[in-house]
Amino acid sequence: MGQNRIELVEVGPRDGFQNLKEYISMEDKLHYIDGLIGAGVKHIQITSFVSPKAIPQMKDARELAGHCAAMYPDVDLFSLVPNLYGAKAAWECGLKKTSYVISLSESHNEANINRTREQSLEELGRIREELPDLTILSDIATAFACPFEGIMMLDGLLELMGKIYGLGVREFVLCDTIGMAHPAQVREYVRAAMKEFPDCRFQVHIHDTRNMGIVNTLAAIECGVQGVQSTLGGLGGCPFAPGASGNTSTEDLVYMLNRMGYETGIEFERLLALAKEEHSAIPGAYSGHHINIGAQACGMNV
Amino acid sequence: MGQNRIELVEVGPRDGFQNLKEYISMEDKLHYIDGLIGAGVKHIQITSFVSPKAIPQMKDARELAGHCAAMYPDVDLFSLVPNLYGAKAAWECGLKKTSYVISLSESHNEANINRTREQSLEELGRIREELPDLTILSDIATAFACPFEGIMMLDGLLELMGKIYGLGVREFVLCDTIGMAHPAQVREYVRAAMKEFPDCRFQVHIHDTRNMGIVNTLAAIECGVQGVQSTLGGLGGCPFAPGASGNTSTEDLVYMLNRMGYETGIEFERLLALAKEEHSAIPGAYSGHHINIGAQACGMNV
């Protein structure tokens, strides 16, 4: 990949929507997905295949996924699954890639998904065995820091990644789940991971709890990760911090990267308009995050 | 200066307060200044000496400055002045350093302070002549971009700085007035300026209009600037963008820099508490900026 290429990976339709109390209709979800694709976004996590009782927002997953897979054959659409059952559903809907989350922190894994890390690894093994052609995007939650265990150690991260690699996974997402990482740590961990697993692809997913989403994401980009995850408007975020600003915002990233000369393939103004539309349409969702207005509002002709 | 030292320069009491409609009593202003110093902040722009009709918020400048100069002899307290008259007032109050603003953009200088750049330079010349021992901190507004003229050219920046240098000024603040800079531009301009004027000290003051305050400020720090300006809670900001998030937030910077191992000398938790207090006490001031909650709210024991 060239020095100035980066894949912007939009996870808003899953990570952003999943915690919203009010159900977003499938039509509305499709509207935003369509808008993202129209603005040039090429990688989208469109839904998750989970129990509708657990996460009612995602009850339309099958229909949504089937629809998108048919409508947008050239877009890299993927989902998130917690188990083999979800993975099979994703596969049946025509999705060829899915995220699967394991926390680096044992306590966080158990608190978050009620399973030990060992159980999570076993389930991943079953998915790999039954669906060998389904590409796994391995989300390592709390890769940098954990609300219970504090700063996570690098050797533990590499060790866990080694086990996942052993199951045939070749793509990792290092997640700053509570937004506590800082650029020096991001650089250290990303470089070490990329060096240890040179045949793997890497992304980061940085939460913005301490307003460091942009700076940490850029740190990772400059270390050579292939992709970065974010959400339109920064929707979503740290589950342990009510009112905290959420995810890194896709439009902020696109603004910066386009201005820096990166080829994102995304039209900033179209994306910003969509972000503002979403911001108005989903009241209460943005309690912590403020969508920064773009260059036009400052009257700048750039 | 060591590799991990950086001066955090708090400009909230001037840049943050000046545009507030509601008058903040001198006692309240002193309360925040005292709180900042208690948290370890060593460099504070405490007021500006301007016409009380133009900026009523700063009508208590003389009394405030006199009080602070007496109370905090070991703190680097400074002001902002628009002209010789203000500079004399600052000097009489015991302040030994003041900011003086010239915009790189001719149109912005005229729109902002109703003067040509040449007139601004002449006034600076008069200040230097009459008050040779008053240290001038030369704020270059729109150093990176201008709401009227767009991206500003580097050679123009160096040329203007050369004229100011010729008047005996040895300390510059490169200001991203509308928050439109990006890290690659910051690095390029800061490096070039530091190379062209190796006997000068440098700061940056980055507005957060596009959520890039932190990333641009870190870019400048890593290029070797001696200081960075910010405001508690990010109060203040782009005058052309109502509702835009404002200044780079001091507590966000301190969080990041302390975590990265820089010696800021500032206690993050005390600063955050003061930021939250200010946020609650000044309703309406924070329309654009969200104070991110700190590590404690996420239950992290770091």
Best to test chain A binding among B6, B207, B215, B232 (most A CBs inside 10 Å): B215
Q: Residue B149: which residues within 8 A CB-CB, separation 6 or more?
A: B105, B106, B107, B108, B142
**Residues of chain B with C-beta less than 8 angstroms from the C-beta of A4:** none
What distance, in Å, lies between the first and last C-alpha atoms of chain B? 28
pLDDT, tens digit (0-9, with 9 covering 90-100), for A49-98: 999 998 999 999 999 999 999 999 999 999 999 999 999 999 999 999 99
**Residues of chain B with C-beta less than 8 angstroms from the C-beta of A176:** none
pLDDT, tens digit (0-9, with 9 covering 90-100), for A232-272: 988 887 666 554 558 899 999 999 999 999 999 999 999 99
Which residue on chain A is closest to B295 by alpha carbon? A180
What pLDDT is attached to residue B47? 98
What is the rounded CA–CA span in Å between residue B261 and residue A146?
20
Option in A210, A218, A259 nearest B255 (CB): A210
Task: Answer with the residue of higher pLDDT: B60 or B282.
Answer: B60
pLDDT, tens digit (0-9, with 9 covering 90-100), for B120-161: 999 999 999 999 999 999 999 999 999 899 999 999 999 999
Q: Round the average pLDDT of chain A to a whole number and report it.
A: 91
What is the rounded CA–CA span in Å between residue B217 and residue B253?
8
Task: Answer with the residue of higher pLDDT: B295 or B88.
Answer: B88
Interchain proximity B249–A215, CB inside 8 Å: no
Interchain proximity B211–A301, CB inside 8 Å: no
Which has the closest alpha carbon to B77: B98, B61, B92? B98
Interchain proximity A298–B185, CB inside 8 Å: no
Q: Is A135 strand, coil or helix? A: strand
Which residue on chain A is closest to B188 by alpha carbon? A260
CA distances from B241 to A84, B112, B113, B180 (A): 50, 14, 18, 12
Option in A244, A256, A261 nearest B293 (CB): A244
- Indicate the pLDDT class of residue B273, thresholds 50, 70 and 90: very high
- Whether the CB-CB separation of A110 and B262 falls below 8 Å is answered with no
Task: Answer with the residue of higher pLDDT: B80 or B180.
Answer: B80
Burial class (CB in 10 A: 0-12, 13-18, 19+), A114: exposed
Tell me whether strands B227-230 and A76-80 are parallel, antiparallel or unpaired.
unpaired
- Whether the CB-CB separation of B16 and B28 falls below 8 Å is answered with no
Give me the half-sphere count of Cα atoms (radius 13 Å) on the Cβ side of residue A268. 19
pLDDT, tens digit (0-9, with 9 covering 90-100), for B191-214: 999 999 999 999 999 998 888 999
What average pLDDT does this structure show over A178-194?
96
What is the rounded CA–CA span in Å between residue A298 and residue B179?
9
What is the rounded CA–CA span in Å between residue A77 and residue A4?
23
CA distances from A54 to A19, A112, A143 (A): 11, 12, 25
pLDDT, tens digit (0-9, with 9 covering 90-100), for A213-234: 999 999 999 999 999 999 998 8
Rounded to two decimals, the ipTM of the complex is: 0.92
Beta bridge pairs of residue A207: A247
Which residue on chain A is closest to B239 by alpha carbon? A298
Option in B180, B295, B301 nearest A295 (CB): B180
Which residue on chain B is closest to A238 by alpha carbon? B298
The nearest CA of chain A is from the CA of B274 a distance in Å of 16
The 3 state secondary structure assigned to A50-103 is CCCCCCHHHCCHHHHHHHHHHHCCCCEEEEECCCHHHHHHHHHCCCCEEEEEEE
Q: Is A289 strand, coil or helix? A: coil
Active site residue A238: yes
**Residues of chain A with C-beta less than 8 angstroms from the C-beta of B212:** 214, 252, 255-256
Which of B68, B93, B238, B298 is catalytic? The answer is: B238
Q: How many CB atoms sit inside 10 A of residue B168's CB?
A: 12
**Residues of chain B with C-beta less than 8 angstroms from the C-beta of A243:** 293
Which residue on chain B is closest to A289 by alpha carbon? B290
What pLDDT is attached to residue B176? 95
Option in A178, A211, A288 nearest B249 (CB): A211
**Residues of chain A with C-beta less than 8 angstroms from the C-beta of B218:** 183, 215
The nearest CA of chain A is from the CA of B291 a distance in Å of 8
Interchain proximity B298–A252, CB inside 8 Å: no
Amino acid at A230: S
Option in A180, A249, A292 nearest B295 (CB): A180
